Amino acid sequence: MTTLATPATPAARRAWLTDLPVLLVAVVWGASYLAAKGITTTHTVIAVLVLRFAVVLPALVVAGLRGLRALTGAQWRGAAVLGLILSGIFLLETYGVVHTSATNAGLIISLTMIFTPLAEAAVTRKRPPGAFLAAAGLSVLGVVLLTQGGGFTRPSLGDGLILLAALARTVHVLAMSRIKAVQDADALPLTTVQLGSAVAVFAVLAAAGTGETPWSVAADFGAREWAGLLFLSVFCTLLAFFVQMWAVRETSPSRVSLLLGTEPLWAAAVGIALGGERLGVVGLVGGVLVLVGTSWGRGAR
């Protein structure tokens, strides 16, 4: 007996058309670790960060000019504080990925999904559910195994920096929820001020002689490096931001968050398929535990 497939409803098709761009954002974010690793060295981190955000900042300023004019002084100050935290996140992530694999970076950074509810529980003095604590423990165990992919050795400097970046992302999320002035601000000008503040920090560090200068790095870039930089700037920053803003309005923050939560899976896939990285048996088990723990933790909150 043959069964005919039920045609997709218009609502299901609309949901798929909304989900697909968000899923693509998760894919490009997962690929961003390998892209950053491919164009950055210890001496060019600051310069690459200046170039990456200087490319997209003018477009954000033009798009959000009206919103920028509408921001109050308190909102400007609050967004600037968030931008300082954001600069720390990008510094830790970029220095970290130079010293570890793109696969490790993508999986370790996913611990933000565990750290944030734990930090929020500590601030509000509300004990999280037991299932969430178990998921957190599973994720931490996964990270320990992940960093021992080639056998039990001391975790690398890069692993530690990415772990600090995950903690910094947690601080950023908590700050956004607790700085009252920014809670009513439009997302576009708020993000523009944050990125502008971060670029200012990178520019000061570059002027202070921290590594190579942005113009010398830009002059040395070939076609492959410029392609990597534009990928990070246009796809991983500018388009990703606009897709998120559009998708949250079309669907729900929870649905967007769930789709973006697949980022570490794509980071591992890209690192292994394109970067030639290998986890080893212990590392593979650790990566699976991180993915299972973070997924379980999102559902148990």
Helices (H), 64-212: 65-70, 73-98, 102-109, 112-124, 130-146, 157-178, 180-183, 187-207
Instruction: Share the mean pLDDT of the chain.
Output: 83
- 291, 270, 237: which is closest to 35 by C-alpha? 270
Compute the CA torsion angle 22, 228, 103, 156 (nearest 10 deg). -140
Q: How confident is the model at residue 1 (pLDDT cuts 50, 70, 90)?
A: very low
Answer yes or no: are the C-beta atoms of 191 and 248 closer than 8 Å: no
pLDDT > 80? residue 92: yes
Answer yes or no: are the C-beta atoms of 94 and 32 closer than 8 Å: no
CB under 8 Å to 41, separation ≥6 — which residues? 98
pLDDT > 90? residue 143: no
pLDDT > 90? residue 298: no
Place of tokens 């954001």: 86
- 17, 87, 6: which is closest to 247 by C-alpha? 17
Q: How confident is the model at residue 7 (pLDDT cuts 50, 70, 90)?
A: low
End-to-end Cα separation, the chain, in angstroms? 45
Answer yes or no: are the C-beta atoms of 47 and 214 closer than 8 Å: yes
CB under 8 Å to 168, separation ≥6 — which residues? 85, 88, 89, 92
What is the pTM for the complete model shown? 0.83
Single-letter code of the amino acid located at 149 = G
Is the pLDDT higher at 127 or at 51?
51
CA distance 55 to 229: 9
